[in-house]
Amino acid sequence: MLKSLNFVNRVALSSFSNTRNYVTHVTKDTWGKLVLEAKRPVVVQFSAAWCSPCKILEPALEKAVGEKGNIDFVKLDIDQEPALTENYSITSIPCVFGFSKGEPVFKFFGAIPPPQIKRYLDQLDQK
């Protein structure tokens, strides 16, 4: 019995130790720390719960960021944070920014294909 429990524990732990990045939701209160003062490059997805293209883009974006390994990924709900949405002139969603050292490096709109996402993320490596 003990051997089977140990096996179950190892399987459970290994499922949590994969390379998946878990998305952090950013707010006006955490924006400075998580985006502008971040030590690593950050990808920010401006989205909303009701946005179907946002739901399509998120897994592809999360996978691409996870494969890079040196980039953080955060989401901002435009309905919850209208001031930040306006401050960054978000006119449609999904809208994705790449930040490095607190400065925007790229911006794109829409659910784009994975190879295009990778090209944008490569720009963060060059900064």
pLDDT number for residue 51: 97
pLDDT number for residue 126: 77
pTM higher than 0.85: no
Q: 95 an active-site residue?
A: no
**Does some domain include residue 4?**
no
CATH label of the domain that carries residue 50: 3.40.30.10
| H or E stretch covering 68 | helix 52-68
pLDDT at 9 exceeding the cut of 80: no
Say which amino acid occupies 110.
G
pLDDT number for residue 127: 67
**Does some domain include residue 15?**
no
pLDDT at 46 exceeding the cut of 90: yes
| Rounded-to-integer distance, Cα 37 and Cα 100, Å | 9
**Does some domain include residue 1?**
no
pLDDT at 11 exceeding the cut of 90: no
How many domains does one find in the chain? 1
**Does some domain include residue 9?**
no
| Rounded-to-integer distance, Cα 101 and Cα 13, Å | 34
DSSP symbols for 21-55: PPPEEP-TTTHIIIIIT-SS-EEEEEE-TT-HHHH
**Does some domain include residue 14?**
no
Residue 97's domain comprises: 20-125
What value does the CA radius of gyration of the chain take, rounded to a whole number of Å? 17
Mean pLDDT, the chain, rounded, equals: 86
Q: 54 an active-site residue?
A: yes
The candidate with the shortest Cα–Cα distance to 65, out of 114, 10, 7, is: 114
Query: Out of 54, 76, 78, 121, which one is annotated catalytic?
Result: 54
**Does some domain include residue 7?**
no
Query: Out of 51, 111, 117, 121, which one is annotated catalytic?
Result: 51
